[in-house]
């Protein structure tokens, strides 16, 4: 094995040196964007899935390398340039004005254009899922995330207040504000864990693609259950915060929120997805039909 590595590098070096300009462009664009993501969106709960999506997305590409080599044909240069030129312009704009969503989306489009130019349309169609999956790296703007999660926050606050009220706790609700004893909790803030809906969707999609994509009917069912699972996990989170506040005070609950709640919510939602998948084994077997093909 030790002798194979130098031989492999000896074969690879001429290819790398022939495309040094492309590699230089890759380094000067991708690395600064990754650093910006690490210092920004990836350091928050809403973007915690980012590094995992990048790693697993690259793995999805490399696992198909034999098929890529077999199907690779140079793409249409005109189409590649039509994608690359606006992508570069958008990347410069996003980078200059600190619009990280625009920057990342433009970078992915530029990488797509370069890949198409080298390997052609057949390979890009083969790799449709990794391409779509890597789109989860694009951080959603805060205003859009608020629009998505706002109805869910209202639902979670209503469910939690109603459930705790049934157990005799002095709980009341006005909008997304929950009152318990002398305390009040804003689900607007306390339920920031609904941001994990994006993370759960990304990881759940990867899970379904790898393990269940040979049964496309069941895959669609499992994907449809991601949102109820995320809502259930966040109901548990908010209920725990309300009870901690009621018994131990606001300081303890806030400490729990900032240090543990996000991780616990995401982990519990992921485990709940695995549990639901296991419990639905009879349904999966019933939906499976001879001749079903993978969707990727």
State the catalytic residues: 191, 237
Q: How many CA atoms lie within 13 A of 108 on its CB side?
A: 18
Q: Which two tokens stand for residue 121?
A: 């349309």
Helix-then-strand count for the chain, H and E: 15, 3
Taking a C-beta distance cutoff of 8 angstroms, is the pair 225, 252 a contact? no
Taking a C-beta distance cutoff of 8 angstroms, is the pair 126, 64 a contact? yes
Q: Cα-flanking dihedrals φ and ψ of residue 174, to 5°? A: -130, 110
* 242: nearest Cα among 169, 152, 166: 169
- Find all residues with CB under 8 Å of 35, minimum gap 6, and list them: none
Q: Which residues pair with 171 in a beta bridge?
A: 180
Which stretch of DSSP H or E encloses residue 77? helix 77-96
* 107: nearest Cα among 83, 129, 125: 83
* 142: nearest Cα among 105, 108, 101, 107: 101
DSSP-derived letter for residue 46 is G
* 105: nearest Cα among 140, 70, 71, 150: 140
Q: Which two tokens stand for residue 37?
A: 């993501």
């Amino acid at each position: 094995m030790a002798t194979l590595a130098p031989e492999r590098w000896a074969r690879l070096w001429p290819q790398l040196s022939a495309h040094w300009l492309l590699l230089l462009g890759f380094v000067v664009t991708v690395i600064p964007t990754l650093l910006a993501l690490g210092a920004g969106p990836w350091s928050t709960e809403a973007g915690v899935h980012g590094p995992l999506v990048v790693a697993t997305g690259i793995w999805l590409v490399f696992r198909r390398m034999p098929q890529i080599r077999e199907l690779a044909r140079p793409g249409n240069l005109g189409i590649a340039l039509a994608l690359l030129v606006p992508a570069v312009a958008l990347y410069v704009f996003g980078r200059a004005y600190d619009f990280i969503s625009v920057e990342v989306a433009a970078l992915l489009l530029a990488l797509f254009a370069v890949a198409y130019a080298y390997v052609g349309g057949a390979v890009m169609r083969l790799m449709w899922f990794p391409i779509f999956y890597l789109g989860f790296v694009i951080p959603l703007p805060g205003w859009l995330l608020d629009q998505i999660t706002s109805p869910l926050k209202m639902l979670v606050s209503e469910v939690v207040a109603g459930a705790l009220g049934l157990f005799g706790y002095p709980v009341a609700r006005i909008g997304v504000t929950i009152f318990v004893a002398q305390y009040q909790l804003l689900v607007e803030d306390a339920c920031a864990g609904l941001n994990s809906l994006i993370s759960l969707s990304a990881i759940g999609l990867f899970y379904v693609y790898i393990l269940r994509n040979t049964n496309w009917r069941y895959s669609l069912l499992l994907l449809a259950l991601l949102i109820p699972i995320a809502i259930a996990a966040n109901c548990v989170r908010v209920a725990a915060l309300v009870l901690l506040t009621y018994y131990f005070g606001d300081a303890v609950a806030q400490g729990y929120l900032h240090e543990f709640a996000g991780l616990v919510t995401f982990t519990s939602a992921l485990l709940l997805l695995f549990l639901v998948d296991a419990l639905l084994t009879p349904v999966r077997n019933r939906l499976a039909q001879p001749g079903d093909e993978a969707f990727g």
